[in-house]
Amino acid sequence: MPRPISATLSLSALTQNLNTIRGYAPHSKVWSVVKANGYGHGISRIWKSLSATDGFALLDFNEAVLLRESGWRGPILLLEGFFSAKDLAIVDKYRLTTAVHSEWQIKALAEAQFTRPVDVYLKVNSGMNRLGFAPACAGAAWQQLRELKQVGEITLMSHFATADSVEGVDAQMAAINLAGQNIRAPRCLANSAATLWHPHTHYDWIRPGIILYGASPSGEWKDIENSGLKPVMTLKSELIAVQELNAGDRVGYGGRYSVAGPQRIGVVACGYADGYPRHAPSGTPVWVDGVITKTVGTVSMDMLAVDLTPCQHAQIGSPVELWGGYLPVDAVAAAAGTLGYELLSALAPRVPVTTVG
């Protein structure tokens, strides 16, 4: 028999999430962000369930080629643009749209030969200080791009650092408006958080990422509890052993969890080699046999331990959900001091994945 751990993807939830997101920005087109292999869900498994999108956005050229060769004919946006002038041959061959965030990229475009003009997204650094032109330089970059026969439609693009917090987007919107005051072009600004909570940022295109997969951009599940978004991935396993322990007994590597009195401990076939966070402390929530309980002790490579005190009927073979429909991935991530983004995208290749409608 195979090891009992598996991940199940609800394709209907994915399609529903895209429809729900359109309801938040009914006048905008949608780039469905599928970077990091669809946030760990697998582009080849999920793209058809998102085929009603207006375009796909990602980083990796191999993933862009995969989409094209799988049959997607719509727009594909390279969110970080191209990394070398040599990449432009792939941009041309596979009809990709590319972000432009640096002067060297404009120069490379000017020296390239294409079979058709390439659409570009001119990226403005509105305060995150990762990629993009400073607001004062954006107008000149736009003018340079306009003068190139190699360039087709130009869209103004930026990204928000604090759309998911109380700080909001006002300061960054001021920088974007300064940059774009003399630029007559479509805009693409809103990430997942801005899509949900800042409708004045929607403009022509939105770029939802994590919310497509039913997790929260803020890391707080309650922030999207009533949004209509549904979790797509369920990571599940089973109890493979039960230990009856007494006061003073310890659990796991380092003996970091010590039993205060008689206690039943369950052992789950899931560990950090499956993508579960090794740094998750004792007390991280886990669903066992219909009950929310907690982990105990150190997560090991292939196993973790759970408290069976509230799960009186749990036994070997009882079902366990690490995250999914019963237990939001954001709740697990919060206990582990991280975000649902990391847990979903870190699903290990050794975990079998199945899809359901």
- Residues marked active site are found at 35, 253
Q: Which amino acid is at 33?
A: V
Q: Would you say 232 and 13 are in contact if contact means Cβ atoms under 8 Å apart?
A: yes
Distance in angstroms (rounded) separating the CA atoms of residues 330 and 342: 10
Distance in angstroms (rounded) separating the CA atoms of residues 144 and 154: 11
Neighbours of 322 (CB within 10 A): 26
CA distances from 89 to 8, 60, 115, 173 (A): 37, 15, 10, 34
User: How far is C-alpha 343 from the chain's CA centre?
Assistant: 9
What are 287's strand-pairing partners?
A: 292, 321
- 6-10/353-356 β-pairing: parallel
Q: Is 97 in a helix, a strand, or coil?
A: strand
Neighbours of 156 (CB within 10 A): 22
Distance in angstroms (rounded) separating the CA atoms of residues 332 and 224: 15
- Cβ-count burial of 75 within 10 angstroms (0-12 exposed, 13-18 middle, 19+ buried)? middle
Distance in angstroms (rounded) separating the CA atoms of residues 157 and 140: 15
